[in-house]
Chains A and B, each alone.
Chain A
Amino acid sequence: MSNEAVLHAHEVSHDVHHGGHDGHHHHENFITKYVFSQDHKMIAKQFLITGMVWAVLGGLMSVLFRLQLGYPEASFPWLEDILGKWAKGGHISAEAYYALVTTHGTVLVFFVLTAGLSGTFSNFLIPLQVGARDMASPLMNMLSYWFFFLASIVMLSSMFVETGPFSGGWTAYPPLSALGDASPGSKTGMDLWLIAMALFVVSQLLAGLNYIATILNMRTKGMSMTRLPLTIWALFFTAVLGVLSFPVLFSGFILLIFDRNFGTSFYLSDIFISSVGALPNEGGSAILYQHLFWFLGHPEVYIILLPAMGMVSEILSTNSRKPIFGYMAMIGSLFAIAILAFLVWAHHMFVTGLNPFLGSIFVLLTLLIAVPSAIKVFNWLTTLWRGNIRFTPGMLFAIGFVSLFISGGLTGIWLGNSALDIHLHDTYFVIAHFHIVMGVASMFGMFAGIYHWYPKMYGRFMNNTLGYIHFWVTIAGAYLIFWPMHYEGLAGMPRRYYDYSVWESFKQFVELNRFISTVVIIVFAVQLLFLANFFYSIWKGRKVTTQNPWESTTLEWTTPIRPGHGNWPGEIPEVHRWAYDYGKDGKSFIPQTTPVGDDESEHH
């Protein structure tokens, strides 16, 4: 559908400024407005709030297994109250520990940081920032959320089956994930896990195709690709990555479903399970799954990270009151990262017996990613330089993102070098690396986005003081939790261990583990404070009184304070310039909709 058609279809139907009053043409009842909504803004909120529910659950799981790691000797009777047989005598069992670790990983990577982050902001920002009434296909967009919702329900249900949820790590390597006899978690729990993930892939594909179509076809007049805000570029590459790599993951899962249920041998060969004897399967390759998995798995890291990068670029520029430095270089580096993301998957597999020559190619390509990443970091730093910085909570989180991205990105240079990976692979060094660079950094991008666009979402502000507390405790906590883990990794301490006390090589970190667990609890509590702030402010936050509270240049701030379905009451505004005219010719900012003046200096 062309933008014009959409424009006319909605031309008269929109109520605008006043939230309570319905449009003339279509009726919005509770169901169509809040549940099966086709408004991209509402779908964004649905993704966000579902993501938050998962973040709380996934975060709580990490608190529980950190209790085990920090206090392996202690017993907590209340654990038995909530976990039942999984925590007999107030002590989390190994089985429950692994189930918690696995579900924490799956949920955080896919449900929170993919659906919750890119789902929320792609939906919310793409139509608003490119100047469209809605997505290319609002129906597909709605389906995308409901597939995600179904996936969530199935994943949730896997936690209540008799044999427990899947417990073989979020990467679900077969044969462990294929054989119920090898681990109780690989029984019904794994079937549900696979179904949930398959539904999730469907949701991502519907969403991704829609995002790409919208960005390519539905930009408003004057909005050339090189006038797009960097958020949109980042979300665009994210969608491309998802659309090209999720199907490969899907195929990997399908083969696994076949191996599990229909007696095929894609991944299985030469297996003898102590309790059942030799299995009939022959000729499969367990490593095949890893190739299929990481062909998504690595781009997935950027699916999570790119939206955060885009939003951070936008927020840093807006609040420094200065154009983003090197706009074209930023797009170029996003592009380079997106391409390279597809060519580095085997760096997760250096110790699987990979051909050393092949390994060397992957080392080269992996370390190459550091170049566009370095460009981005230096460009962000230069954006801050000689700016006029306003520390809104969103801006604080954006600065925090840059700090974490540097810290976590640099350790990627260690791990990407296969000769070092042989030593550090699957130790706590890896845990520290990817939690900082992908987990916490993306979370910071998400928080930055939430604080920054909250006024647009709900027409109110979140409480600033709580935002500041949230930021400072979280960034300090993130470093206190993950920085020391590098040292545990340098001691060779393996990840995914339930108990280290019997290991002469790793038992020296008892106190450190206790310290980390304590910080985890505090940081988790502060996230609850953030949630309280979020939900309280929806109804009671300070009202937004001006259309453009951050004095930003982009299109979303030209809509009414509480935009209806269709976003702009009249014509969609025309764009005359790029998104970063801050501080130009002595003006604080020039919105994209302002035509270029005769006396203006060099124009983009």
Chain B
Amino acid sequence: MSMFFTIAVIVLVFLVIFQIAKASEYVSILKGDENAKAQSNKINGFLMIVFLVLGLVGVYLCNKALFPKTLLAHESPSVQGEKVDSMLWVTLIITGIVFIITQILLFWFSYKYQENPKRKVFFFPHNNTMELVWTVVPAITLTVLVVIGLRNWFSFTSEAPKDALVVEITGKQFGWMFRYPGKDNIFGKKYFRVINDAQSNPLGQIWADNAQYNLKADPANFDDIVLSQTVYLVKGKPAKFIINSRDVIHDVGLPQFRMKMDAVPGTPTTLWFTPKFTTKEMKEKTGNPDFVYEISCDQMCGNGHYSMKGVIEVVTQEEYDLWMAKQKPNYYAAFPDKDPANQKPVTPAAGADSTKTLAAAK
């Protein structure tokens, strides 16, 4: 019912506007075309200035209301993000100045030079000096921006530092999986045809010989740790992601760290950055007790795209070591009988060994 009412009101408003517009046309014919044109020209000229003033006030108010909600309101929690931010500011200032000057000129000229029967227009088809100026000045300005941009670009895309914490991240519809290389610091080989979710092998780690695909088990896989949804990184330590996708193209979006890289099936990509603040510190800095570093999928990947979320916990080195010590290689999930913890009741000696290694890891 309310629907009909709304439609009726809209139609009515439409008809009223339409009738007024039609009437105004008749009036203009009665008044004489020239008079009517002069009048509407005055109104539109005036509206140009009104629009300019309201627009600039609007820009200011919009900024006041929305700026605190952007990432720029807080210091970036990554070293790379700081560079992005400073570059954003430089670009904003340059484009902002151009924006304000050109918009003011546009609407001011429109207002100032509205038709006036007394004015004689200035026949001004071209002027080489002026054209040269506004070719060269933008070119120089852009060169500055390109230089700043490329310096950052090459630093962001450079090889990650040797001491970086390397994590493999794999997207699938619709979630993220993470793999740490384990104690040997080597990622075991993978093959997509041996992926088997039911048998705890979501990444296709080659940990058993396979005659069908001519694969040999890679021992480097035995200590790899596989996690889903949450990944732990260390404050102040560069983190390098090796990015894969299992099905369609995804994108590892790290809004707070100002970083992003696609996950492409069949073509691994990389991305590295250095987190500066722990999650706990960010909760204080942003004043938001629920703050988390989120990984958002930034490449359309299907109907669950909007829910493809991962979490990054940035912690101190000590917290990280404690946490890491508690993680079990994924190999043991697939082969519980190989897990030293499960072998305890059978052979006590082996159990003692595993406690020792755990203690050593700590």
Contacts and interface: CB of A to CB of B under 8 A. Distances in A.
Contact of A419 (B62, B149, B304): B149
Interface string A467-500: 0110010011001100110010011111011111
A39 to B, nearest CB: 30
Contacts of A185: 303
B84 A360 contact: no
A258 interface: no
B299 interface: yes
B168 interface: no
Given A78-B3, A169-B300, A381-B109, A490 B134 contact: no
Interface in A386-419: 386-391, 396, 399, 402-403, 406-407, 410-411, 413-414, 417-419
Nearest to A171: B300
Contacts of B99: 406-407, 410
Interface string B139-176: 10010011011101110111000000000000011000
Contacts of A363: 146, 149-150, 153
A353 B261 contact: yes
A525 B10 contact: yes
A472 B125 contact: no
A323 B125 contact: yes
A398 to B, nearest CB: 10
Nearest to B255: A492
Contact of B121 (A377, A388, A491): A388
A353 B47 contact: no
Contacts of B342: none
Contact of A371 (B109, B139, B148, B291): B139
Contacts of B269: 352-353
B267 A286 contact: yes
A389 B153 contact: no
B103 A403 contact: yes
A324 B124 CA distance: 8
Contacts of A468: 40, 43-44
A598 B44 CA distance: 40
B122 interface: yes
B49 interface: no
Given A285-B266, A325-B126, A417-B91, A371 B69 contact: no
B71 interface: yes
A570 interface: no
Interface of B: 3, 10, 14, 17-18, 20-22, 24-25, 28-29, 37, 40-41, 43-45, 47-48, 51, 55, 58-59, 62-63, 66-67, 69-72, 81, 83-84, 87-88, 91, 94-95, 98-99, 102-103, 105-107, 109-110, 113-116, 119-127, 130-131, 134-135, 138-139, 142, 145-146, 148-150, 152-154, 156-158, 172-173, 192-193, 195, 197, 204, 246-249, 251, 253, 255-256, 258-262, 264-270, 288, 290-292, 294, 296-307, 309
Interface of A: 77-78, 94-95, 98, 167-169, 173-176, 179, 182-185, 268-274, 277-278, 282, 284-287, 320-329, 351-353, 356, 359-360, 363-364, 367-368, 370-371, 374-375, 377-379, 381-382, 384-391, 396, 399, 402-403, 406-407, 410-411, 413-414, 417-420, 422-423, 425-427, 463-466, 468-469, 472, 475-476, 479-480, 483-484, 487, 490-494, 496-500, 502-506, 508-509, 512, 525, 528-529, 532-533, 536, 542, 580, 582-586, 604
21 contacts: A95-B303, A173-B299, A175-B249, A175-B265, A182-B247, A269-B267, A286-B267, A371-B139, A379-B131, A382-B124, A386-B113, A388-B113, A422-B156, A465-B20, A468-B40, A492-B253, A492-B258, A498-B306, A503-B309, A504-B291, A542-B29
